[in-house]
């Protein structure tokens, strides 16, 4: 049984402050209360073994995939998010040392370099994957491409425990505790890591260590990015044999399967033409180069990072930047389906530089951009002001009627954004969209924004009849009450709190209201 170190917890705080707790959800307001009581939070998390943590189920939502369908993403409860991030910190360096050497460019994705609050200070590794693929295709006649079906959701937790222990025998107890922690998050299901937290990338790469080793033992060259595997040989028969062996190995040892529709053996010439250089990819590369010229932060980001105010002195004029970004957005609208990485890069570049030119094209094409809703609403939040609120309001009034607005995560982000701005809540349509939804935390946010004392009074009387997430939202909304009503009630909530988080939250609201 393991106890989290102070260094790991301090890293978790730095990471979440800088990069959010999930790549898909707005940062939970509860973290501010936890930072306010950080010494007590660390004491609580270090007062017991990880195996003794009381683990709550994460909040689950669906987000649209680029080519249709949905995937499930997760937001852990705040204390669990801190603990999970700290666990990944504890094992990260050991996992990295067990992976194929960086110079080999076999395991290209997310090389672990813990610094500056990040697990992956060196970047995502995508360019290494592309370059290595080109090099191997140039010297081999055939290429096999494949990936693992629904990888994150299918990771076998006991194999993860094995991989962590194998990385360092000193992690034996921690590895077992991580397995139990994830089992509790999964409601005892033995497969799957949360989709969204950066810590899950560390876990996913740990599981791939022996898979990389197995492919290498098949006697063929390969390179990999997350679960996207490319193998190269002058013999088509050897590639077919390697795919068959890999299929059996994944099933027998990990209970993983390869995606049939994405598994192919091609001539390397065809692979280069279709997967490395085609009109679509060439257009994408051209657009990425344009974005890189705008800002040193251009390109595909690893996380929903906080707003960056860095601009070089010799960067293009704002009008030129806006025109370039609008042009880039128009180009990707011509693609058959949205390129998630490219769309995010364009939107994030506009957000960092405070360029409002994308408001209209994004909202006019809302169904197309719904799969990148988190970035869309982070961008709108950055550029909304007295000059833009009218255009945003009219665009959202149309968008909220569309079927895409009812996708769980899209609706959550839209409600969260609307509820944060009085100018948007002035619209009856948008206010009703929030207040008639299912998310009480966004309703509470709207009550705070509008200083709606009546809503708070109504709901604080029902606080013990709702779940913990809703209960915390109501506690936070009490900040709009008169002090002689707010403070005694929050004192009573803190005194009767069943969980430390609710006690810390109540005392933080009392102190910060």
Mean pLDDT of the chain: 91
Please give the pLDDT value at position 183.
Answer: 96
Taken in order of first residue, the domains within the chain and their CATH numbers are: 60-73+96-276 (3.30.70.270), 278-395 (no CATH)
Please give the pLDDT value at position 58.
Answer: 96
Sequence-distant (≥ 6) Cβ neighbours of residue 165 within 8 angstroms: 171, 172, 175, 176
Give the pTM: 0.91
Phi–psi pair at 479, nearest 5 degrees: -65, -20
Going by their DSSP bridges, the two strands 142-147 and 59-64 should be labelled as: unpaired
CB 190 within 8 A of CB 158: yes
Please give the pLDDT value at position 336.
Answer: 83
- Concatenating the DSSP letter of every residue in 379-393 gives HHHHH-STTTHHHHH
Please give the pLDDT value at position 229.
Answer: 98
Burial class (CB in 10 A: 0-12, 13-18, 19+), 114: middle
- The owner of tokens 């679960």 is 227
Q: Give the whole-angstrom CA distance, residue 283 versus residue 294.
A: 17
Name the 3-class secondary structure at 21. coil
Q: In 149-283, at which residue ranges do the beta strands (DSSP E only) sit?
A: 221-225, 228-233, 264-267
pLDDT in tens, the chain (513 residues): 789 999 999 999 999 999 889 999 999 999 999 999 999 999 999 999 999 998 999 999 999 988 889 999 999 999 999 999 999 999 999 999 999 999 999 999 999 999 999 999 888 898 899 999 999 999 999 999 999 999 999 999 999 999 999 999 999 999 999 999 999 999 999 999 999 999 999 999 999 999 999 999 999 999 999 999 999 999 999 999 999 999 999 999 999 999 999 999 999 999 999 888 865 565 555 555 555 444 332 333 433 333 233 223 334 455 678 888 998 899 889 888 898 888 998 999 999 999 999 999 999 999 999 999 999 999 999 999 999 999 999 999 999 999 999 999 999 999 999 999 999 999 999 999 999 999 999 999 999 999 999 999 999 999 989 999 999 999 999 999 999 999 999 999 999 998 999 999 999 999 999
Q: Give the whole-angstrom CA distance, residue 186 versus residue 454.
A: 38
């Amino acid at each position: 049984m393991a106890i989290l170190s102070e260094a790991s917890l301090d890293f978790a705080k730095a990471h979440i402050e800088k990069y959010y707790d999930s790549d898909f959800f707005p940062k939970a307001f509860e973290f501010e209360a936890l930072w306010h009581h950080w010494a007590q939070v660390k004491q609580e998390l270090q007062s017991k073994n990880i195996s003794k943590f009381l683990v709550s189920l994460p909040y689950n939502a669906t987000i649209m995939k680029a080519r249709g369908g949905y995937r499930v993403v997760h937001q852990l409860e705040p204390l669990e998010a801190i603990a999970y991030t700290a666990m990944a910190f504890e094992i990260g360096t050991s996992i990295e040392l067990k992976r194929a050497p960086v110079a080999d460019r076999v395991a290209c994705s997310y090389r672990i370099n813990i610094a500056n609050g990040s697990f992956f200070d060196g970047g995502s590794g995508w360019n290494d994957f592309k370059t290595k693929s080109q090099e191997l295709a140039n010297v081999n006649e055939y290429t096999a491409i494949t990936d693992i079906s629904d990888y994150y959701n299918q990771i076998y937790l006991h194999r993860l425990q094995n991989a962590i222990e194998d990385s360092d025998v000193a992690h034996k107890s921690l590895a077992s505790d991580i397995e139990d922690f994830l089992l509790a998050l999964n409601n005892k299901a033995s497969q799957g890591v949360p989709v969204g937290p950066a810590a899950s990338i560390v876990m996913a790469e740990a599981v791939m260590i022996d898979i990389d080793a197995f492919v290498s033992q098949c006697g063929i060259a390969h390179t990999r990015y997350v679960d996207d595997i490319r193998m190269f040989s002058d013999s088509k028969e050897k590639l077919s044999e390697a795919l068959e062996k890999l299929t059996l190995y994944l099933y027998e040892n990990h209970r993983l399967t390869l995606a049939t529709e994405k598994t192919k053996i091609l001539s390397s010439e065809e692979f280069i033409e279709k997967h490395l250089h085609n009109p679509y990819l060439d257009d994408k590369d051209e657009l990425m180069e344009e974005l890189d010229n705008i800002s040193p932060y251009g390109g595909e980001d690893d996380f929903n990072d906080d707003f960056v105010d860095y601009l070089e002195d010799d960067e293009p004029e704002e009008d030129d930047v806006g025109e370039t970004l609008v042009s880039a957005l128009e180009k990707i609208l011509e693609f058959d389906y949205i390129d998630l990485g490219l769309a995010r890069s364009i939107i994030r570049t506009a957000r960092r530089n405070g360029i409002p030119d994308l408001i209209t094209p994004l909202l006019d094409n809302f169904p197309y951009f719904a799969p990148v809703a988190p970035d869309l609403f982070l961008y709108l939040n950055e550029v909304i002001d007295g000059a833009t609120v009218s255009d945003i309001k009219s665009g959202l009034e149309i968008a909220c009627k569309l079927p895409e607005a009812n996708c769980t995560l899209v609706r959550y982000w839209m409600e969260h954004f609307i509820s944060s701005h009085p100018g948007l809540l002035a619209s009856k349509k948008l206010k009703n969209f929030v207040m008639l939804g299912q998310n009480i935390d966004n309703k509470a946010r709207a009550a705070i924004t509008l200083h709606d004392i009546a809503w708070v009074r109504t709901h604080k009387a029902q606080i013990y009849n709702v779940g913990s997430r809703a209960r915390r939202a109501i506690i936070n909304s009490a900040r709009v009450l008169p002090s002689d009503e707010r403070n005694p009630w929050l004192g009573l909530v803190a005194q009767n709190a069943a969980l430390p988080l609710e006690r810390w939250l109540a005392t933080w609201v009392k102190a910060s209201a």
